[in-house]
Amino acid sequence: MARVIQWATGGLGQAAIGAVLDHPDLELVGAWVHSAHKDGRDLGELIGRSPIGVRASTDIDAVLALDADCVLYSPFMADPAVLRAILSSGKNVVTPLGWFYPRRGERERYDALCRAAGVTLHGTGIHPGGITERLPLVISALSGSVTAVRAEEFSDIRTYAAPEVVRDWMLFGATPDKAAASPMVQMLAGGYSQSVWMIADELGFDLDPDLTVTHDIAVATAPIDSPIGEIAPGHVAAQRYRWQGTVDGTPVITAAVNWFMGEEHLDPPWRFGPAGQRYEIEIVGDPGSTTTFTGMHGHVSDSTAINPGIVATAMHCVNAIPYVVAAEPGLRTYLDLPPVAGRAAAGLHRSRRDPARSAVETKGST
């Protein structure tokens, strides 16, 4: 049974707490919170469940002193100094905030830190994460002579229940000039560029040295009602981002997002198409394939609920924890771990797991 600390309790963190509580191989032992009004709150009550006798704390040192095997690190923005402190305290880390596939210098630094502390660092998630990295690689095994890979998100951002993020960071409702000059491209690139390089390295593409990055904007042509208030004509109502790896200037690997505030009153008149909100993976090869994932987007009529995509991100992190705890010390990517799987619902899983499965054994156990 791996002991888990949840680091930050926003939408993703709350989904992760519930997932840890429901996971037969995990035990929740603590949580760090940023807000003073959450300090001391019972974590069960914090997510709308019965009390569990485990409380949140704003005291970093007190949380680091807890006896735990792994921290699920998911604040809004990563603080590398805090991440290093967590690792140095002897705790494995799973995070959706990066470190999916860092370039050589950064990886070597974290490898050294992790090995010195006897712990593992693993970056995972959904997009970037599983749908931009692991799943394209798995699906590509059905093809030969691959010439292109595309992983793309199509989301109605009205279902994303974090208005301050949508307004202040994604800059919906801002002027096009302000959005074009925002640091969002660089913030997102930390994840999506790693996805592109992982696929390129594993499939053997000889990419040009620099990725091609594009950011396109559509503006409202009429007032648009949204969770952040009315978006005025001429202001940002949809955005597209592309990170592409090229060979001799020709795109061969694409990671992309399409974020729309609905499909009406947009210039250009972008649409999701008949498939609607989805994640999509395309492999161009012999044979080629297109795989579409649905069910991980919220409904506009219920924009206050936790977005299913956020829940899926949390689940991918939580389900990775037993495998990360069992892994050899170092920075470990998808390529270094066995396939991560979910667990059966309560009442359907075995009461005792097979001890031969190393994925649920803690480092150093016998």
Domains annotated on the chain, with CATH: 2-126+312-360 (3.40.50.720), 134-295 (no CATH)
Interval 199-258: pLDDT, tens: 999 999 999 999 999 999 999 999 999 989 999 999 999 999 999 999 999 999 999 999
pLDDT at 358: 46
Length of the chain: 366
> Cis (ω within 30 of 0) for the bond into 128?
yes
Q: Which two tokens stand for residue 123?
A: 């970056």
pLDDT at 304 > cutoff 80: no
Rounded CA gap, 112 and 20, in Å? 29
Question: Taking a C-beta distance cutoff of 8 angstroms, is the pair 96, 317 a contact?
Answer: yes
Helix (H) or strand (E) holding 82: helix 80-88
Measured between alpha carbons, how far is 284 from 101 in angstroms, rounded to an integer? 23
Q: How confident is the model at residue 363 (pLDDT cuts 50, 70, 90)?
A: low
DSSP secondary-structure letter at 126? B
The secondary structure of 345-357 as a DSSP string is PTTTS-SS--TT-
Predicted confidence band of residue 366 (pLDDT cuts 50, 70, 90): very low
pTM above 0.85, yes or no: yes
Pairing of strands 266-267, 120-123: unpaired
Mean pLDDT of 141-169: 92
Q: Which helix (H) or strand (E) segment is 304 a member of? A: none
pLDDT band at 355 (very low <50, low <70, confident <90, very high): very low
- Whole-angstrom distance, CA of residue 250 vs CA of residue 365: 50
Position 361 scores a pLDDT of: 52
